[in-house]
Amino acid sequence: MLIDSHVNLHAPQFAEDQAEVIARARAAGVGLMITICDKLASFDAVATLADVHPDIWCTVGVHPHEAKDYADLSPDTLIALSRRRRVVGIGECGLDYHYDLSPRDIQRRVFQAHIAAAQATGLPLVVHTREADDDMGEMLERSHAEQPFKLLMHCYTSGAGLAARAAALGAWFSVSGIATFKGADEVRAVITQMPGDRILLETDCPYLAPVPYRGRRNEPASLPHIAAKLAEIRRWSLEETEARTTAAVYSLFHRIERSSSVLA
């Protein structure tokens, strides 16, 4: 069984065939999925997916692109929503200085609210970071020193320096279809240095389809291609890759019930 640790099944790209996408994922051997909240306006749709499907769990959070609309977000709001039974993480949240779709000071303020919620609930923080290595490292280290929390560096494509800083805090890392891209040598080099017991797989669907589907809408059913590339990079067998990444999910997302997969 493979686990897709980051899907966006509520995205409009899946509006016409969401049920078929989920069925194809199961047929491809994806036994569990975590569907990610990008803004609080989407939370009901995200949480309902998890309520309906025993093999789907969810998070609650605000993506840095959406932070401008939640400038006064309180940790208490996230804490209250996280009490919903199928919520297993806080996020996706973080800093994105590439697009700067939200002002950077607001991104930092909203991210800090998520960190506080993770500290209060014990749920892992699902972190998005892009071209913000210095600020990200400083915020994580300062907050972790005040009160430790679990964190996942999702779809990690930042530098080796930030990866080392996060790993020193006990971070988990997830590998996406970017690892299969021809020009992603630096990403693959960082993957070789990630802690072997703290690596997860993800599609980030409908985005970032791996080779040989690059440029198309991504689906959880493409996860085996990412698993195969991770196995190649780390020189693991496919069986070892499956076992390691599955164990990493359960060690990070402690609310997920091991019996929740619908796969026999």
Q: Say how far apart CA 156 and CA 136 lie, in whole Å.
A: 13
Q: What are the phi and psi torsion angles at 118 (to 5°)?
A: -65, -40
Residue-wise burial string across 89-101, b where 16 or more C-beta atoms lie within 10 A, e elsewhere: bbbbbbbbbeeee
Q: Among 234, 170, 168, which residue's Cα sits nearest to residue 201?
A: 234
The ranges assigned to domains in the chain are 2-252
231 membership: H or E segment, kind and range: helix 223-234
pLDDT of residue 264: 63
Q: How many alpha carbons fall within 13 Å on the CB side of residue 92?
A: 26
CB count in 10 Å sphere of residue 13: 17
Q: At what angle do helices 133-146 and 160-168 cross, to 10 degrees?
A: 10
Spatial separation of the C-alpha atoms in residues 146 and 148, rounded to whole Å: 7
91 — alpha (psi -120 to 50), left (phi > 0) or beta? left
Q: Print pLDDT tens along the chain (264 aa).
A: 999 999 999 999 999 999 999 999 999 999 999 999 999 999 999 999 999 999 999 999 999 999 999 999 999 999 999 999 999 999 999 999 999 999 999 999 999 999 999 999 999 999 999 999 999 999 999 999 999 999 999 999 999 999 999 999 999 999 999 999 999 999 999 999 999 999 999 999 999 999 999 999 999 999 999 999 999 999 999 999 999 999 999 999 999 999 999 996
- Output the pLDDT for position 65: 98
The residues near 72 (Cβ < 8 Å, ≥ 6 apart) are none
Residues 6+ apart with CB under 8 A from 149: 115, 118, 119, 122, 124, 125, 143
Q: Hey, which residues does 172 pair with through a beta bridge?
A: 152
> In CATH, what number does 2-252 get?
3.20.20.140
Instruction: Write the CA distances from 206 to 22, 95, 159, 175, integer angstroms.
Output: 12, 21, 24, 15
3-state DSSP assignment of residue 222: helix
Residue 94: both structure tokens together: 């973080």
CA angle 171, 177, 178 (to 5 degrees): 80
Euclidean distance between CA atoms 137 and 165, whole angstroms: 7
